[in-house]
Amino acid sequence: MKKYLTFTILLLAMLVTACTSKPKAEAWLTKETKVNLPIPNLNQNYHDQQLLKFKYKNQENSLITLVDVNQNQLKVIGLSVLGIRLFEIEYNGEIIKTKQNIFIKELPAPQQVLSDIMLSILPIQQWQAVLPEGWQLFDKQLHRKLINDKQETVIDITYQESPTNKIRKPIHIQHYIFGYQIAIQSMEAK
């Protein structure tokens, strides 16, 4: 009986530890390359409502995202096109809190959506600090490219022209390694 009580206490202790552990703020750039996400540090607040159209393996799916960056906190809410809440992600520069309401296998993982959004809106300097050695992020006019250490384009982001000096808004993301494309349409009033 003592063995079972000790085993039960040990099992409960492991469960409590697992429930209170902080998920690492990491993202996969390729199947072999994982990086720590940079702190979402912007000089201004950012808000956008976006319709994302994913194209992956000859299938197309859509998702609405509400993106807010405020005081170095990033929050992304993913909705179906019918308005059903699919997931919510909060990232404060240290930990990611994810709440998955409905899992749809045809859509990317919430962490991948978070990574793509951060890659498209954060300044290059913040990303360059966390990229692996030899990797670079370049901005040229309305494009941003992530290049790996073999000089191959991993991700290509296209932006719309901005009449103000506000944060550029992406309109297309192509991930060459994972083989998906995202067309992005801002739903904000102009």
Domain annotation covers residue 1: no
Q: Is the pLDDT of residue 2 over 50?
A: no
Find tokens 């530890």 and name the residue.
Answer: 17
> What are the strands, taking DSSP E only, across 30-179?
34-36, 46-56, 59-70, 73-79, 85-91, 96-100, 136-140, 143-147, 153-159, 170-175
Domain annotation covers residue 7: no
Domain annotation covers residue 106: yes
Q: What is the pLDDT of residues 33-73, one digit of tens each?
A: 999 999 888 777 888 999 999 998 888 989 999 999 888 88
Domain annotation covers residue 56: yes
Pairwise CA distance, residues 157 & 145, whole Å: 6
**Structurally, how many domains does the chain consist of?**
1
What residues make up the domain containing 179? 23-186
Q: What is the pLDDT of residues 138-158, one digit of tens each?
A: 999 899 999 999 999 999 999
Domain annotation covers residue 90: yes
Higher pLDDT, 135 or 98: 135
- Identify the CATH number of the domain in which residue 173 sits: 2.50.20
Domain annotation covers residue 3: no
